[in-house]
Amino acid sequence: MPVLRQIAQLGHPVLRTPAEAVAFPLSAEVRALIDDMLATMREADGVGIAAPQVYESLQIFLVAPRPNPRYPDAVEEPPIVVVNPEIVERSDELVKGWEGCLSIPSLRGEVPRHRRIVARYRDAEGAVVVREFEDFVARIFQHEDDHLRGLVFLDRLESPRDLVAEREYRRRLAPG
């Protein structure tokens, strides 16, 4: 039975520490961690979560876009388990888009990200996956990958003017 984990908040050192590579085959503890991360992310209405966000400094994250109150226009795709990732190709085209973070719940920022990436990683079974991601899903992947390197979306802002309070962001989304 998955456990809802506490989410590390900005300022905790685990969010600024590069994560450790994960050994295969995955242990029962790491498999349980992945289940816990999925449950925690869903409970918090996230579209991705990285192990450091639940106080585990391991190179694991989930990419799980789906419409929810935080991202009402998100596409829906099955969750992807990403272990020991490497972004091997990035498009030249950068696109600014709004991002939030479960570890920074009160702020949203308009962050430039590569529109398209190609990533190599291992799945939960240990298979090597090479996959292309575009647009919102590429944005999630890059955001979560940053967490494994001790970065948060605030580090990617072009200007502090690209930052808004979560309440103001939601007001802007409201119809009418």
| Per annotation, catalytic residue among 56, 89, 132, 144 | 144
* C-alpha 128, offset from chain centre: 20
Is 102 within 8 Å of 41 (Cβ atoms)?
yes
**Best CA proximity match to 17, nearest among 61, 67, 56:** 56
Question: Residue type for 145, please?
Answer: D
Q: Which of 16, 106, 103, 119 is nearest to 53 (CA)?
A: 103
- The DSSP 8-state label assigned to residue 9 in this structure reads -
Closest C-alpha to 50, from 71, 80, 27: 80
Annotation says 144 is catalytic:
yes
In the three-class reduction of DSSP (H, G, I as helix; E, B as strand; rest coil), residue 153 is classed as: helix
Cβ atoms within 10 Å of 72's Cβ, excluding its own: 9
Active-site residue numbers? 144
